[in-house]
Amino acid sequence: MRKYLVLSVLLLSINGCGGQGSTDIGSTAPPVIIAQPESPEVPVTPSTPETPEVPTTPDPGELLLEEMQAGFCSVSGLIENTHTGFTGEGFANTDNQVDAQIKWQVNATTAGDYNIELVYAAPTARPSTLSSNGSESALAFVSSTAWDIWSVDTAVITLVAGENDIVLSANTAEGAPNIDSLKILGQGLSAGACSFTPTTPTEPPSEANTQIYIIGDSTVANYGASYYPQKGWGQVLQHFFKNREVEVVNRARGGRSSRSFYSEVGLWDEVLKELDSGDYLLIQFGHNDRDWSEETRFTPPADFEQYLANYVNEARAKGVTPILVSPMVMNAYNGDVLRNVFTEDGNDYRGSMAKVATDMDVAFVDLNIKSFDLVKALGQQQASHYLYLILDAGEYPNYPAGSNDGTHFQESGAVEMARLVVEGLEELRNRVDIEPLIANVKHRYTLSVDNVGANTSILTQGNAYPEGIPLTFKTIAGETDTFNAWYSWGLIVSEGNIFQTTMPANKYSLTAAFNGAVPVVNFSAATVFVIGDSTVADYTSGYFPQTGWGQVLQPFFDDNKITIDNRAIGGTSSKSFYAEFWQSVKADIREGDFVFIQFGINDRANDEDRAAPSGGVFEGYLSSYIEETQALGATPVLISSVRRNQWQNGTPYDAYHEHPVVTRELAATLGVALIDLDSKNKALLVSVGETYANQFYYMGLAANEYENFKNGISDTVHFQQAGAVEMARLVAQGIAELSSRQTIAPLIDALKPVYVLNISSPTPDAGVITQGFAYPQGSPLTIKAVANSDNVFTQWLDKNSAEVANKSIYQFTAKDNDTEFTAVFNNSEGLGIPTNNLVAVLDGTKVNLSWDLQNYDPAITYLEVYRNDKNDVAGRTRIVAGATPKGNFVDETGVEGTTYWYMFKIVQDTVTTNTTPEAETRIPFVNEIPVTNLSAQIDGTAVNLSWDLQYFEPEITYLEVYRNDKNEALGRTRIVPGATLNGTFRDEGLEPGKTYWYMFKMVQDGVTANTAPEAETTIPADAVPSTPTEPGEPSDPETPTEPVEPTEPPVTNLTTVVNGNNVTVSWDLQNFSPEITYLEVYRNDKNGTAGRTRIVAGAALAGSFVDEGLTSGLTYWYMFKMVQDGVTSNTEPDAPTTIP
């Protein structure tokens, strides 16, 4: 049985829900309500009835054409209902291409020019042209700010007497905006005979387990686009609940009281028929019950209580849970004191409702008191212009003369009332009948609104809101202020004083800038938690060079801003990771953090623990990760799984099939950030080829190439370090491409600059060498050369032609500059120039020296090392006599506060030479040297730590202690947050036989820094019996290199044949499951889907088409758009064809 929730709202109004409520705060005349306080209801404008509901049929003198009705002929695209706020069946969504069209047909009795209105939505401008009978009108369709924010554009068209075709054509490759309706103003108009049948079904009915019905008046009711920004709170309540669990059904009707809603045929009687056991009913009345001037709705408090009792009893008789909601306050003042008209003598409708709630044990949300407190806190001016429908002239297109309505709400006010209702429901969580409803309230994220440069201005205030709810930000500049712009994360998002958007799925910050001031952005430090399988996971040195991309992601980020915490586990699927490891990850996630999610490889496994097929199960687990991450105030990022290095017919094969596809689709459906690593990985493979990818990226290792794999290995799933770095590079690239998402701004801000790695060879035909890209400082890089037969690799040279290595594999850490290396085969360049490779590393007041003198000819027969306190040879001091060409030495005799240079004296046969001074090093004073005094004492499988941090300048204001199982910061684990500068900690449950290092992360004067790993500690192997396996071992279930592949993968068999400027395109789509029910063929002049052109609509699964009149010299790609079981998908561009 479906569960349903019905909310009935009882609202009271000073002058009825349709009246003006109170005079504008800027008026010099006193409000009428104050002049006659004893009257139950005195409308400000008695002749003005309540604002009517949006009519179901057009008023005389206009024709309204909606999709799926007579007069709507066709659309180059789809009819959809995936956004809110539309009227009718949905809205027309055109294809993203120039000249995408919508067609209508209308009959006119009189020829002439007619005014038209188009209701549309689009987050960016979508200029288009409206044409009829040879006349054209340009429509700007400026941004409505979001897909669920509807605006109106107008034009004039010419109609002839009789039948007329009206065509809207897009002017850009983005297509036309979403169109809700076309209205023509004039007499004697009727819809044409044409009709439209969509080729793709609209969104299915709600499958929510619970339904909330709402009954009430116009302060709760729904309003169409022509009334925007007026909205009732019932219209926005759905945003606060999980769509898949709760459906809000708003049956509130303007102008009704508890009496008239109960008595009028077609209102309560129809709701009662729909109510079912398990539903909820929200009831709010009161505004119109006070209206003594209307006999049909006036309801004295005693009768009001009886009608409320009727609703409660009749709802309970059907197994429905009623909830009473007291009427919110109006914008009514006695002087400068806010009145609560629903608690005054003779009109205490709030008190009557509370009494019924107590007497009948009904859940009660006291919206009256909550709204009174809110309005009072905001103050008269802010509440008037930010909550109520009090609008300045020209502020909104639907109200060119403005509005002075202190009863009804603009959208932002409706959102606030809905928020207060939900808060009231949450306060009832201890009621058994309400608790199930509270469990389905969506997480609300912090919204902060601030200003810079303002003196006396007022602006929207922040609170906490669920993802997707419409937000309106407004400023009212003070007399001495000039508003400049709205900023978010340092970027201008709007220069208008009104800015509208929707709440993202994490905390959101907006700043209003005045008087030329510009806000400074300081992103808080955050952690990126990476979850996934063995292609992402960390590996110990015993498996090198096998590396997961999560293991090498940290160097791409400033670690003072972003810390990578790689929690990926080899062998896991979305299902098994969720069951075994997700809870421990969740325990560490904080608001403002990020979670990178990559699964799909092991989800295709056959064992019950891991199998997560697409079509529901896989998507369900990804959705759970997303929703639970968002509920913690963190941001999820979906990453499609990496590719296997498996090829078919000369192109990378889609080895993991549907899982990357549904990852992309789910990201689009849920509006979650996506890094399409699957597609990026494929493009990289295509650029380098199968053999190169195997030798340089994947674990295709030759015998004796690496110590850990002496017999070699052929693994097309996992990566060697160079391949993992490339995947991490593509992930960072994907982050940079998400710059339009404000939630990703902290990640983009933390991306480090990259530097080019240029690899070349003077004899490129002698072998294959690493292809370099650009990498940040700190990246672990591997360059490699594979000699062709009859050739021998000789050496690697740097940009100065100095030899850096004579082995084919050379590993180093990227620096903050572009780097060049030359691969030498067959000794084509000789031995290179002499180099010293002298390095001086300061250790307290000691200097650790190391050197490696190479390429000296004749050979060095004697060597000495010298030090000087000036950059000169004269006056130097010998510190090492008879040194070896490769060696090291600890210089402990330097004077504190003195700078030294080091140099060599070299004897080759009988010739003595001196090198120039280098390795400039200053010896610090002892009291300049910060110390941690970190010590570690082993106690079984625990380590007792103690520390005392001294001499750190500036002063440490925050400290954390970390542990790692390798001598580096990458992949470390935080064990003590908020540590004291002098403290102790017992680190328990460590693994026998494993070695650990400890380190600190500190904040000094707002700057985050990290100490080097120290206190190396090995847990005795016999401390506790244990034989854990490492991720990625051969026994790891993910390791098999040949996962079962389907014998019949889906294929398009797409081919092209060029004939002059024509191309014959042939196809035969086979093995697609579910079955394809509709197919279109597209062409594009770039290798992508954006801007493509449809060339065949309603194509057969096997067929051909002659694509004529193509441009010489251009290359074209072809692709398909298909519908399978109601789901639309696209194939990737294929068959690149160049016209001669």
3-state secondary structure of 1096: strand
What CATH class has 929-1018?
Answer: mainly beta
Q: Which of 324, 320, 328 is nearest to 359 (CA)?
A: 324
Q: Which of 168, 746, 258 is nearest to 508 (CA)?
A: 746
The structural architecture, per CATH, of the domain 7-53+205-442 is 3-Layer(aba) Sandwich (3.40)
Do 526-749 and 759-825 show the same overall fold?
no
Is residue 184 within 8 A of residue 90, CB to CB? The reply is no
Q: Which of 1092, 1098, 1102 is nearest to 1066 (CA)?
A: 1102
Q: Tell me which H or E stretch contains 258.
A: helix 258-263
Is residue 518 within 8 A of residue 485, CB to CB? The reply is no
Compute CA distances 486 → 278, 860, 1133, whole Å. Answer: 45, 69, 40
Is residue 1083 within 8 A of residue 1054, CB to CB? The reply is no
Compute CA distances 1138 → 1065, 1082, 1131, 1132, whole Å. Answer: 13, 16, 20, 18
Q: Which pLDDT score, from 0 to 100, does residue 262 have?
A: 95
DSSP assigned state of 61: T
- Per CATH, domain 526-749 is 3.40.50.1110: yes
In the chain, what are the domain boundaries? Answer: 7-53+205-442, 69-191, 446-514, 526-749, 759-825, 845-926, 929-1018, 1055-1138
The structural architecture, per CATH, of the domain 845-926 is Sandwich (2.60)
Residue 253, class by beta-carbon neighbours within 10 Å (0-12 exposed, 13-18 middle, 19+ buried)?
buried
Is residue 589 within 8 A of residue 576, CB to CB? The reply is no
What CATH class has 1055-1138?
Answer: mainly beta
3-state secondary structure of 569: coil
pLDDT by 10-residue block (mean), the chain, 1140 residues: 35 35 28 26 29 37 86 85 82 83 91 91 88 87 86 90 91 87 91 65 53 95 88 95 91 93 92 94 94 88 95 97 96 89 89 96 96 93 92 91 93 96 94 91 90 92 92 92 90 91 85 92 88 94 94 95 94 95 93 94 90 92 94 93 88 80 92 94 93 94 92 92 97 94 90 96 94 96 94 90 90 95 85 79 91 86 96 95 95 92 94 94 82 91 92 86 91 89 93 94 82 93 56 33 44 85 85 83 86 83 87 89 80 89
Residues 6 or more apart whose Cβ sits within 8 Å of residue 669: none
Q: Which pLDDT score, from 0 to 100, does residue 796 have?
A: 92
Rounded (10°) angle between helices 349-359 and 301-317 = 40
216 phi/psi in degrees, rounded to 5:
175, -155
Residue 466, class by beta-carbon neighbours within 10 Å (0-12 exposed, 13-18 middle, 19+ buried)?
buried
- Per CATH, domain 69-191 is 2.60.120.280: no
Compute CA distances 859 → 386, 834, 836, 883, 918, whole Å. Answer: 85, 11, 13, 14, 22
CATH number of 759-825: 2.60.40
Q: Which pLDDT score, from 0 to 100, does residue 38 have?
A: 26
3-state secondary structure of 60: coil
Q: What is the pTM of this model?
A: 0.50
Peptide bond before residue 52 is cis, with ω within 30 degrees of 0:
no
Distance of alpha carbon 881 from alpha carbon 864, whole angstroms: 5
Rounded (10°) angle between helices 617-631 and 658-670 = 40
Is residue 627 within 8 A of residue 670, CB to CB? The reply is no
